[in-house]
Structure 1
Amino acid sequence: MRTSTNPELTAAWATVPDVATAQERYTEAVRLRHSFPSGATPAAALASVQDEAIATLTATGKWPADFAKRAAKAHAEALVWEAEATALRRAEDMLKFAAEDARDSMAPDVLAYLGGRLDEILTSAKDASAALGDVTTADEAIDAGGDALDAWRRLTGLVADLRNVRAAQWDVLRSVSYSDEQARMRNWMAEGHGEVRGVRLDDVPEHVKGAVRNQSYGPAQLVWLAHSGAAYVPTSFDDLEAHVMAATEPISHNDSGPLYDYSPRVTPEPAPTPSRVYAHSNMPLIDKSKERGVKPKPNAVISDRDEATTVF
């Protein structure tokens, strides 16, 4: 975990005691490893004793009588040194992982704290802007004096707090994201995403989008955020991504004219039309072994034909 001089980030992490404790343990492991004296491995220690014995034999023609004792002592001391050095390296790696795991698991709490701080800053900025009236620059505030000058001073102090909250926000999001997610966040920041929600970027003033891209907030941008109600701190990478997708989802248009409802329509069943019976009609004869049925009563007549007209 990196140390930070950002007071908002330091205060945010301080709200999570487990993270602070894990960081302290890791820092102590780093200190112990760096202060541990240098030494030789068992193989290197034995090689040193062997080289000295060979040099003595070469110079005097005699082999050192205490070679075995010296070799055993050097090897034993090197084993002890190597064991502790290895243990300190493992301790540093394990405590670093534990500290990073604690930081990652508690990141939503830290981002939620930063979101609360942002709300406090915006509320104070809204009050200060009301006292400013038509004052929009430092020179105008000096000329106005009184309440306007005090409000301008409060507003400029809040700008510094806002910048720290935003820097802390991105620091936490980067630290808990993978490299590909970090690359996407850089692109989103360059486009102006990640600090306003509920509005499309096209509806955000250009000077506010520029402040997001360059992290260069000033009083004017703070006042706009305070009154817009759109500023927020993402609670996670997924939360950030969801808001970016919502802000960039294309608006659909119907280029084919009005929409028509082609769903099936249910119509009442038509009443049956009675059969037409003429004077010459008879009951059908189905079985010749039987007599034909009673002749039906006529209910229709054959219309007269139109007179034929001969055209010469």
Structure 2
Amino acid sequence: MRATTNPELAAAWATVPEVAKAQERHEAAVKLRREFPLRKPPAEALADVQAEAVAAFSGTGKWPSTFAKDAAKAHADALVWEAEALALRRLEDVTKAAAEDLRDSLSVDVLGYLDSRLTEILEATRSAGETLGDVTTAEQAIEAGGDVLDAWRRLTSLLKDYRNVRDAQWDVLRAVAGMEDRSRIVRWRDAGHGEVKDVRVDDIPSHILSVMRSRAYTIEYLVWLARSGSAFVPTSYDDLEFAVSSSTEPVAYDDAGPLVDLSPRVLPERTYKPLNTRRDPRPYVD
């Protein structure tokens, strides 16, 4: 989660304030670590005291009487500094992991909110679309005037809301996905997936599919989508993946007639009659 200018995304994340609180704690931990003063680690601090003593002896011929005290203090102070520096680094890692885990676990709620917003937008679109009739351009709406022009203006506003919902949808899905899944999400988005479900790609009009792929949304597209009744916001990566598979996998047909049971049959055990090997007692006569 990060700062955004998308009102739909901001409103969606606001439905899970726990995520915002966890993010704030992580940012506070980052600030603490960055503001923590830089100092030398214990080994270097001790080496500096040793170097100073050696230099003093080389110059005066006398070993500093306070060497042990100075060395102990430098090493102890550096140990205290290092302990806090490591703790702050650990704090940053822990709060980051906590914020990400919470964000991932609650992303379903965020995407569910966006799906409800999509439903609201499309319900308003259907109503305005009925008033619009066959009008498909701003010029036609201006020429018609009255309720038609009002409906066009309403749809223009709804189109902006729709774009924000879709941008928020992809932002959240990418945010909670791993690197490999994130790449797939981008490819699926660019192929036009994630807009409708239970509709095969081959059944979507080409000009509508073109809009899905380019995301250059128009009022005509918005009205079509509202009338289709198939629009959705995926609530997870798995939900999106299932929708992609359902819309692209070929339909299987059985052209070979009725199914034949090819499972092995169990046959009764055979019984064999013994061969008659008894010789005829009568003598052989040529």
Give the TM-score normalised by the residue count of structure 2: 0.83
Q: One-letter code of the match for 2:11?
A: A
Aligned to 2:227: 227
> Which shifted more, 24-33 or 185-194?
185-194
Cα 1:202–1:74 shift into 2, 3 Å: same
1:79 is aligned to 2:79: yes
1:126 is aligned to 2:123: no
Aligned to 1:28: 28
Task: Give SS of 2:134's match.
Answer: coil
1:59 is aligned to 2:59: yes
Cα 1:219–1:91 shift into 2, 3 Å: same
Aligned to 1:280: none
| Aligned ranges 1:266-277 → 2 under 5 Å | none
Aligned to 2:164: 164
* In 1, Cα distance between equivalents of 2:157 and 2:190: 26
1:135 is aligned to 2:113: no
Structure 2, unaligned stretches of length 5 or more? Answer: 262-286
Cα offset, 1:106, TM superposition: 0.8
* In 1, Cα distance between equivalents of 2:203 and 2:191: 13
Q: One-letter code of the match for 1:119?
A: T
Q: Which of 1 and 2 has higher RCO (CA within 8 Å, sep 6+)? A: 2
What value does the CA root-mean-square deviation take over the aligned residues?
A: 2.1
Aligned to 1:147: 147
Q: One-letter code of the match for 2:123?
A: T
Structure 1, unaligned stretches of length 5 or more? Answer: 264-312
Cα offset, 1:169, TM superposition: 1.3
> Which shifted more, 169-178 or 227-236?
169-178
Deviations 1:225-257 (A, max 9, x none): 11111110112222222222221221234444x
| Aligned ranges 1:189-268 → 2 under 5 Å | 189-256=189-256, 259-260=257-258
* In 2, Cα distance between equivalents of 1:51 and 1:118: 70
Residue identity over aligned pairs, in percent, reads: 59
* In 2, Cα distance between equivalents of 1:151 and 1:260: 54
Contact 1:13 1:110 in 2 (8 A): yes
Cα offset, 1:186, TM superposition: 2.7
Q: One-letter code of the match for 2:175?
A: S
Aligned to 2:275: none
Cα 1:48–1:154 shift into 2, 3 Å: farther
Contact 1:163 1:216 in 2 (8 A): no
Aligned to 2:93: 93
Give the TM-score normalised by the residue count of structure 1: 0.77
Bigger proportion of residues as helix = 2
* In 2, Cα distance between equivalents of 1:163 and 1:245: 24
Task: Give SS of 1:223's match.
Answer: helix
